[in-house]
Amino acid sequence: MEYKNLIAGDWSETVAAAANINPSDTQDVLGYAANSPAEDMERAIAAARDAAPGWAASTPQQRFDVLDAIGTEILARKAELGKLLSREEGKTLPEGIGEAARAGQIFKFFAGETLRQAGEILGSVRPGVGVEVTRSPVGVVGLITPWNFPIAIPAWKIAPALAYGNAVVLKPAELTPGCAHALAEIINRSGLPEGVFNIVFGTGSTVGQTLVQSRHVDAISFTGSVETGSAIAAACGAQRKKLQLEMGGKNPMVVLDDADLETAVDASLNGAFFSTGQRCTASSRLIVTEGIHDRFVAALGERMTRLRVGNALDDSTQIGPVVDERQLEKDLYYLDVAASEGGQVLGGQTLQRSTKGFYLAPALVTETSNDMRINQEEVFGPLASVIRVADYDEALVVANDTPFGLSAGICTGSLKYATHFKAHAEAGMAMVNLPTAGVDYHVPFGGTKGSSFGAREQGSHAKEFYTKVKTAYTLA
């Protein structure tokens, strides 16, 4: 399989190719992606620029039909797309199929939004004057996506971009070109005019950077690491280009003495380890009060060690492999650092399976303090640490003592603490008796502090990023 660029409706010839490797079985090469030069990106941007005015002038019905067709095909093929996703990214088959379905649902949601777009008509403070507030497309948007949700994240950027009348250039992650290519094929046969959607494969430093720096791109939406996001922010700031960033997390899960133990263990097990811990909303800091600490650690440790780690495509697998060797080394490095700083590590050993892959047993690091590196820096693997605290007040201080602010959870039977936590957790998303990861597709997603920048993604709030506002005054 060759993953070619789609530019102005044409699948361009690949220049060179980068192998797409199955992390559950490194002998299995799914295909080869174009390793495009900067000129390919420039051609894609020019194609989007040419197509933008036509799509901006399209009717709500035209936009609805395109988005609905894309959503319908994704949902009809969710099993096949989910399998592709699990094979190239390593999350389990149910997780892969669930993510593919979510991508379809996102397109369906934004198909509906095309018919609900409205402005406002207001009276003026001046007599005889009318005021209208309307929204129009931003123009050409550049979308840069990571590997950990290789179909859902492109979907939640592309769908609102198209729904609100923009032309798109997508630069997907190098590690997961297969899902991005499958999505591009579906979009290309949806009836969307040529050039409105373009995809360019290649490295961040070549085609990603060209997209960010282009004077012909009006807005950038990025999901990825803090380092890359910060560099993109500097480049966009210099050009005053509209920008939306979703970056890391160091998400706290607070467990109070009055929590239901089973609920707390279920939520923590899911939040910390499912999807191999490779979710920006993963629960990486478990902040546990004294009275439940030992029972919680014993129960979670026992459940964690029973998790079945294996090939993402095996029915019995609960935790798939780490995405690649670099990430596996990073996970192991942080476990070493945690141990050298005094943490007690349970699990965390590399595992052999019948196929060669990046298998790592989930790890729980106990007896940690919040100032340890394992609690301050994002790792992005199947590992979580436990921080013992005296009471709710200390738990909240520790939960908020982080540069990040994406998701924050609490397990408690107390309405008082749950209500206080929802109001005072410094995070864009707060969860009560639920995992920090796992969100709905029709409501805003995003964080505060170092996790996010710019307007929220998803739900009808997405229009804040994908439209610009005009205020018109008319003398009656």
Q: Which residues are catalytic?
A: 246, 280
CA distance 86 to 97: 8
Closer CB to ligand ADP, 146 or 428, in the complex: 146
Closest CA to 260 of 75, 125, 418, 99: 418
Residue window 406-435: x/- pattern of binding to ligand ADP, with contact defined by CB under 6 A: ------------------------------
Closer CB to ligand ADP, 333 or 473, in the complex: 333
**Under rule CB under 6 A, residue 378 binds ligand ADP:** no
According to CB under 6 A, which one of 24, 198, 209, 221 is a site residue for ligand ADP? Answer: 209
Query: How many residues make contact with ligand ADP (CB under 6 A)?
Result: 17
Instruction: Cite the beta strand spans of 340-411 per DSSP E.
Output: 344-347, 363-368, 383-389, 407-411
Minimum distance between the CB of residue 242 and ligand ADP, rounded to whole angstroms?
Answer: 16
Which 133-152 positions form the footprint of ligand ADP (CB under 6 A)? 144-146
Contact 313, 83 (CB under 8 A): yes
Q: How far is CA 81 from CA 90, 96, 104, 105, 115, in A?
A: 13, 8, 11, 14, 28
According to CB under 6 A, which one of 7, 18, 140, 173 is a site residue for ligand ADP? Answer: 173
**Under rule CB under 6 A, residue 347 binds ligand ADP:** no
According to CB under 6 A, which one of 29, 61, 133, 205 is a site residue for ligand ADP? Answer: 205
Closest CA to 430 of 460, 451, 410: 410
With 0-12 / 13-18 / 19 or more C-beta atoms within 10 angstroms meaning exposed / middle / buried, residue 10 is middle
Contact 241, 211 (CB under 8 A): no
Minimum distance between the CB of residue 364 and ligand ADP, rounded to whole angstroms?
Answer: 24
Which 9-48 positions form the footprint of ligand ADP (CB under 6 A)? none
Minimum distance between the CB of residue 288 and ligand ADP, rounded to whole angstroms?
Answer: 29
According to CB under 6 A, which one of 104, 139, 204, 248 is a site residue for ligand ADP? Answer: 204
Closer CB to ligand ADP, 33 or 338, in the complex: 33
**Under rule CB under 6 A, residue 224 binds ligand ADP:** yes
Minimum distance between the CB of residue 170 and ligand ADP, rounded to whole angstroms?
Answer: 10
**Under rule CB under 6 A, residue 241 binds ligand ADP:** no
Closer CB to ligand ADP, 113 or 331, in the complex: 331
Minimum distance between the CB of residue 299 and ligand ADP, rounded to whole angstroms?
Answer: 32
CA distance 348 to 336: 10
| 458 token code pair | 């998803």
Amino acid sitting at position 454: G
**Under rule CB under 6 A, residue 381 binds ligand ADP:** no
Contact 39, 7 (CB under 8 A): no
Minimum distance between the CB of residue 323 and ligand ADP, rounded to whole angstroms?
Answer: 9
Minimum distance between the CB of residue 245 and ligand ADP, rounded to whole angstroms?
Answer: 10
Contact 58, 209 (CB under 8 A): no
Q: What are phi and psi of 21, to 5 degrees?
A: -105, 140
**Under rule CB under 6 A, residue 82 binds ligand ADP:** no
Minimum distance between the CB of residue 56 and ligand ADP, rounded to whole angstroms?
Answer: 25
Contact 362, 379 (CB under 8 A): no
Q: Which stretch binds ligand ADP (CB under 6 A): 109-117, 222-230, 259-267, 287-295?
A: 222-230
**Under rule CB under 6 A, residue 266 binds ligand ADP:** no
Crossing angle for the helix pair 78-89 and 177-188, nearest 10 degrees?
150
**Under rule CB under 6 A, residue 174 binds ligand ADP:** yes
Closest CA to 61 of 198, 156, 191, 158: 191
Closest CA to 276 of 229, 212, 342, 323: 323
Closer CB to ligand ADP, 232 or 328, in the complex: 232
Instruction: Provide the CB-side half-sphere exposure for 72 (13 A, CA).
Output: 9
Minimum distance between the CB of residue 232 and ligand ADP, rounded to whole angstroms?
Answer: 6
According to CB under 6 A, which one of 212, 256, 319, 374 is a site residue for ligand ADP? Answer: 212
Amino acid sitting at position 16: A
According to CB under 6 A, which one of 1, 17, 56, 231 is a site residue for ligand ADP? Answer: 231
Closer CB to ligand ADP, 225 or 448, in the complex: 225
CA distance 182 to 104: 13
Chain residue at closest Cβ approach to ligand ADP: 204
Q: What are phi and psi of 207, to 5 degrees?
A: -75, -30
User: Rule CB under 6 A: which residues touch ligand ADP?
Assistant: 144-146, 171, 173-174, 203-205, 208-209, 212, 224-225, 228, 231-232
